[in-house]
């Protein structure tokens, strides 16, 4: 395959924070083995060898838990092994999503040298961040993360701030956006919060309701439009994807594909899952330490041509809200994320369907203008 993207969990679900809304902590609690420990050198080499054997360009993404708990030496060994094993015509790309608490000057030097794209979790201003993102001692972590963002900006390390939309951040989204822009954090991603598995949506202290999400999307879009039209540089992943789609391009966010695709989530023991939101025992696809498991075979069992051998997760890969088939906004919405869909009276419904319908009805004119006029 031309490009292969991996999402690697080098320390499984281990983390030095205790965030109230952590979806991966929740998933780990619903597995027979929640924490597989640190990835061994044997497993790391199996991941690298099989990834390079299957692709021309390989994107090695690291997430957690908190991936930096693996230690800088793990990442130095990993990148050195990639350089040793890859062919001259192959390309290796690195990304990491981190809470920023352990990053220091040695880390910054490494990230800059290896050209990592960093996703830094920062839930807006101090109040909104510290309400949910506390360390193991129960203390807020805003000061450490903000200092990390400032230092990466100074050093020219490419990074996006990742802000989870929840009951605390969504009502204050205007202040959060303006704060990010004042500080020069102009590459932003806003991620809807997930409720815990098996619970009723909207009942947790941090839950993002459809009304909250709709109001936050509208406010963000207004501010983004104003700045983009004024020539101020700002990137918000969701809106940039919509513009690209209106221009005939393909979205790069999996929730905008309209169907579940193989995300190659690699746990620290080598187990592969199809999606970060479904890293559960029922959806295991194999283990890369098994000689008979590789990324080409995993792609085949995720694809339609596998027929009866297709993995169960992909049997209804494009099943979303049953109203999608007649919705005028489907070409942009694509039904949203599978985790937001649920059965109701024999039909499938998306929790945020009405939210997206209202958003697109109010924004389509400006989105089309941007698609036609802005670079």
The DSSP code sequence of 132-154 is H-BBTTS-B-HHHHHHHHHHHHH
Residues 6+ apart with CB under 8 A from 112: 155, 156, 157
Answer whether residue 182 shows pLDDT above 90. Answer: yes
DSSP, residue by residue, 95-113:
EEEE-STT--HHHHHHHHH
Structure tokens at 214: 């709709």
Task: Place 375 in a pLDDT band, splitting at 50, 70 and 90.
Answer: low
What is the pLDDT at residue 306? 66
Average pLDDT, the chain: 96
Answer whether residue 304 shows pLDDT above 80. Answer: no
**pTM strictly above 0.85:** yes
What is the pLDDT at residue 252? 86
Positions annotated as catalytic residues are 276
Answer whether residue 309 shows pLDDT above 90. Answer: no
Residues 6+ apart with CB under 8 A from 331: 245
Q: Could you tell me which of 261, 305, 315, 313 has the C-alpha nearest to residue 285?
A: 313
Q: Report the side by side order of strands in the sheet with 271-273.
A: 235-236, 187-192, 159-165, 117-121, 91-98, 57-62, 3-8, 265-266, 271-273, 286-287
| 25-66 per-position pLDDT tens digit | 999 999 999 999 999 999 999 999 999 999 999 999 999 999
């Amino acid at each position: 395959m031309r490009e292969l993207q991996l999402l690697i969990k080098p320390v499984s679900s281990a983390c030095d924070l205790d965030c109230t809304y952590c979806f991966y902590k929740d998933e780990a609690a619903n597995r027979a083995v929640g924490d597989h420990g640190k990835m061994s050198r044997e497993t790391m080499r199996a991941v690298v060898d099989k990834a390079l054997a299957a692709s021309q360009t390989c994107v090695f993404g690291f997430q957690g838990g908190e991936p930096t708990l693996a230690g800088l030496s793990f990442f130095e060994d990993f990148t050195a092994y990639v350089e040793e094993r890859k062919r001259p015509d192959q390309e290796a790309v690195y990304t990491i999503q981190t809470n920023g608490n352990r990053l220091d000057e040695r880390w910054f030097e490494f990230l800059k040298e290896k050209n990592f794209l960093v996703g830094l979790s920062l839930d807006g201003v101090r109040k909104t961040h510290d309400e949910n993102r506390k360390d193991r001692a129960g203390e807020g972590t805003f000061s450490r993360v903000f200092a990390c963002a400032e230092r990466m900006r100074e050093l020219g390390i490419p990074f996006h701030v990742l802000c989870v939309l929840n009951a605390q951040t969504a009502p204050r989204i205007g202040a959060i956006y303006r704060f990010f822009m004042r500080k020069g954090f102009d590459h932003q991603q806003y991620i809807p919060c997930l409720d815990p598995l098996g619970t009723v949506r909207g009942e947790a202290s941090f839950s993002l309701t459809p009304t909250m999400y709709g109001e936050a999307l509208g406010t963000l879009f207004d501010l983004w439009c104003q700045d983009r039209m004024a020539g101020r540089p700002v990137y918000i992943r969701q809106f940039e994807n919509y513009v690209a789609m209106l221009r005939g391009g393909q979205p790069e966010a999996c929730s905008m594909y309209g169907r579940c695709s193989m995300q190659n989530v690699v746990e620290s023991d080598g187990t592969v899952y199809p999606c970060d939101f479904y890293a559960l025992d029922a959806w295991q696809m194999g283990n890369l330490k098994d000689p008979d498991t590789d990324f080409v075979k995993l792609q085949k069992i995720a694809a339609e041509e596998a027929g009866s051998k297709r993995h169960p997760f992909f049997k209804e890969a494009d099943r979303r809200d049953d109203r999608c088939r007649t919705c005028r906004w489907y070409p942009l919405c694509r039904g949203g994320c599978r985790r937001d869909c649920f059965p109701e009276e024999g039909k499938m419904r998306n929790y945020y369907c009405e939210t997206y319908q209202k958003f697109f009805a109010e924004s389509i004119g400006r989105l089309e203008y941007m698609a036609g006029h802005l670079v």
